[in-house]
Structure 1
Amino acid sequence: MNICLFTDEEITRPLSLRDSRGEHLIKILHKKEGDSFSAGIINGKAGTAVITKIQSHEEHSPDNRKTWLEGTIEFDFTPESDGKPLYPLKMIVGFPRPIQLKRLLRDIAGLGVSQIHLTATELGEKSYLKADLSSPEECRKMLLEGTVQAAGTHIPEVFIHQSLQECLDSIKKEENSQTGSNSTSITAHFALDNVSPEISLIKKMNEAPYDIKPFEQAVAAIGSERGWSKSERELLENYGYVRTGMGIRVLRTETASTVAATLILAKMGLLG
């Protein structure tokens, strides 16, 4: 835990020692009164918190087999910055297995992408969308984990779509609204495809038109574990996505997502 994040309401209240954050501060970081720790407001300011008071006592289970701390940590928070900004990269990801979803969302959030669009695909397993870990609330918890690991405060937005068509329409609508507000930034659209890519991702990012005027925003689409169907490839092309590859090896959805995001962010000059 590289930063403790709180909601607007929590930042002014004592923190319970039974809360995972309070437990981490006392048992892992061994913080005492007068000590400070990195803190921030979710989707808001980052800064430093100073512990002003710790009230604690031990509680025991009826059979004395379990012991835990009860009490609170009082602290004063001083905001110092607006937090680390999210990057202008949106990720479209075909629903992976639930066990992979947690790692994927955590790592993508750690990289600082702005939006994650999870979508059903024609070749993907439909039951994944109904898994407990696939709800917006659970996804947000995983994104929060990645944000905390990266010592950030801003959490990527997560959207869940029932089809790729629905997903692409949603992103296109948002892009059209930005165009209507006189946005002049160039947006690149990449569809990662290990079956029939037109060009490598790295080569495409260095070719026209991006060699003349680099893109300032990007959308990267990664299919589910069975990849894109023929009709989905055609759909992506119709929406202006270039089918790109990242070598001859077949990567897991979570791995492909992290690698693609890293390459794109590096090309945008955001990791240097």
Structure 2
Amino acid sequence: MNLLLVEPSELRTDGTCAISDRRAQHLRAVLGVEVGSTIRAGVLGGAAGTADVIVIEGDTITLRLNLGAMPAPLDVELLLAVPRPKVITRTIEIAASFAVKRIDLTNAWRVDKSYLKSPRLDPAALALAARFGAEQGATTHIPDITVHERLMALLDERFPGPGGLRLIAHPTAPPIEQVVTKLEPTVLAIGPEGGWIERELDTFIERGFQPVSLGAPILRVEAAVASSLGQLLLLRRLRA
């Protein structure tokens, strides 16, 4: 946990809050806090700053928050073919740690239909994974996450025609740095480990998505998410 996140409802009018759940346990067992300690903290969906430990009583830790500005999310939306159930949680955590604005999880031709029945796609499970990712990435932003059973319905709803910077990861495409030449809101589509089929790729291109490659290696989904978001973050710094 690199940032303690508190719910807006937990914050009292005097700027203090009391926690006694897994967060308090982490502060004591892992960070070894004591009265007078200062940690990084923020309000979910709001400002970030620090928190001073003012009282430790039993399992409860009371903190006083000193908040500053709200961290800006990464202006990237992720469109992701549903990965294998055992990596869904880790993939969401990775994406959320980069503070992406939104995640759309979708069915695709090479997605095993049983994946869509995984309990790891339950809204509560996805929300918890996103929160863990935000704590790791030290951001107060939690992305909106939606699961779609049909890729075409998703594309028709959100991308009826060309517009904005839309990218689709594809191993034989031009390098991402040749396509991303300026700062602008970005949508990035990453397929299943078997890749998008040709018909899906053509449909994305018709909707204004530009194929890009992330480099020579062929990556698993969770590695592709980390690599692509890391490259986009670097390119945004270089183009700023």
User: Normalising to structure 2: TM-score of the pair?
Assistant: 0.89
Structure 2 counterpart of 1:36, one-letter code = T
- Alignment gaps of 5+ in structure 2: none
101-110 or 261-270, larger mean C-alpha shift: 261-270
Superimposed CA distance per residue, residues 153-207 of structure 1 (whole angstroms, 9 cap, x where no aligned partner): 111221211122122233326x99xxxxxxxxx821111123xx443323333xx
**8 Å Cα contact 1:200-1:246 kept in structure 2:** yes
Q: Does 1:54 align with 2:31?
A: no
CA distance in structure 2 between the partners assigned to 1:41 and 1:156 by the alignment: 15
Tell me what 1:14 maps to: 18
Seq. identity, %: 27
- Secondary structure of 1:33 counterpart: coil
Offset from partner CA, 1:80-116 (integer Å, 9 cap, x none): 222x210111111111012211221111111222111
- Structure of greater Rg: 1
Question: Residue 3 of structure 2 contacts residue 138 of structure 2 at CA under 8 Å; is this kept in 1?
Answer: yes
The aligned residue for residue 118 of structure 1 is: 105
1:227 equivalent in alignment to 2:195: yes
For residues 132-162 of structure 1, the C-alpha deviation after alignment (integer angstroms, 9 at most, x for no partner) is 1112221121111111112111112212111
Distance 2:135 2:223 in 1: 20
The list of structure 1 runs, each at least 4 consecutive aligned residues, that deviate by more than 4 angstroms after superposition, is: none
Size of the alignment, in residue pairs? Answer: 236
Contact 1:265 1:271 in 2 (8 A): no
Partner of 1:85: 72
Evaluate the alpha carbon distance shift between residue 243 and residue 133 of structure 1 in structure 2; reply closer, same or farther with a 3 A threshold: same
Conserved 8 A contact 2:94-2:225:
no
CA RMSD of aligned residues (A): 2.2
Paired with 1:46 and 1:245, the residues of 2 have a C-alpha distance of 35
Distance 1:129 1:22, change over 3 A: same
Give the corresponding residue for 2:164: 187
Question: Is structure 2 residue 230 aligned with structure 1 residue 262?
Answer: yes
Match of 1:253 in 2: 221
Aligned to 1:65: none
Structure-2 residue corresponding to 1:68: none
Alpha-carbon distance in structure 2 between the residues aligned to 1:223 and 1:203: 21
Match for 1:75 among 52, 59, 63?
A: 63
How far, CA to CA, are the matches of 1:125 and 1:271 in structure 2? 39
Instruction: Please report how far the alpha carbon of residue 74 of structure 1 lies from its aligned counterpart in structure 2 after TM superposition.
Output: 2.0
* 5+ long unaligned stretches in structure 1: 57-70, 177-185
Q: 2:165, 2:186 within 8 Å by CA — same for their partners in 1? A: yes
**Using the alignment, how far apart are the partners of 1:74 and 1:248 within structure 2?**
50
Q: Work out whether 1:164 is the aligned partner of 2:151.
A: yes
TM-score (ref. length: structure 1): 0.79
